[in-house]
Amino acid sequence: AQSVTQLGSHVSVSEGALVLLRCNYSSSVPPYLFWYVQYPNQGLQLLLKYTTGATLVKGINGFEAEFKKSETSFHLTKPSAHMSDAAEYFCAVRDNNNDMRFGAGTRLTVKP
């Protein structure tokens, strides 16, 4: 069964700084990979996804992620953090069994 590991339960950056949220996965088959964002007391909003094709995926709000099969990673980045980016971010993996599994989440704090 697949699993997802998010390194760092809490990441703090200054406004304007680079955002890097790490995600590693384990899957016996090529997976589908996702990043979701959750604001307090809300559901999850899809940021971006990787299914097939180009390994660098661009999403909403200036975020992007790169699928690196050799490293089994799918790290999320944004060149310049904005205060509105403060939220909880979840990496998720889905395989052919259709089960979607989530990482533990990373809380992003943006300092002014």
Partner 1 sequence: GAVVSQHPSWVICKSGTSVKIECRSLDFQATTMFWYRQFPKQSLMLMATSNEGSKATYEQGVEKDKFLINHASLTLSTLTVTSAHPEDSSFYICSAEGPGSPGANVLTFGAGSRLTVL
Question: Measured from the CB of residue 80, what is the shortest distance to partner 1 in angstroms?
Answer: 26
DSSP 83: G
Q: Which CB, 17 or 59, lies closer to partner 1? A: 59
Question: Measured from the CB of residue 25, what is the shortest distance to partner 1 in angstroms?
Answer: 14
Question: Measured from the CB of residue 82, what is the shortest distance to partner 1 in angstroms?
Answer: 23
Write out the residues near partner 1 by the rule CB under 8 A.
Answer: 32, 34, 36, 41-46, 49, 51, 90, 94, 98-105, 107
Q: Which CB, 50 or 81, lies closer to partner 1? A: 50
Dist CA 35 CA 59 (whole Å): 9
Question: Measured from the CB of residue 56, what is the shortest distance to partner 1 in angstroms?
Answer: 17
Q: Reduce the DSSP state of residue 70 to 3 states and report it.
A: helix
Q: Which CB, 41 or 112, lies closer to partner 1? A: 41
Q: Which CB, 29 or 112, lies closer to partner 1? A: 29
- Closest CA relative to residue 84, chosen from 31, 39, 45, 41: 39
User: CB under 8 Å to 47, separation ≥6 — which residues?
Assistant: 34, 35, 36, 37, 59, 60, 61, 63, 76, 89
Residue 66 structure tokens: 């790169």
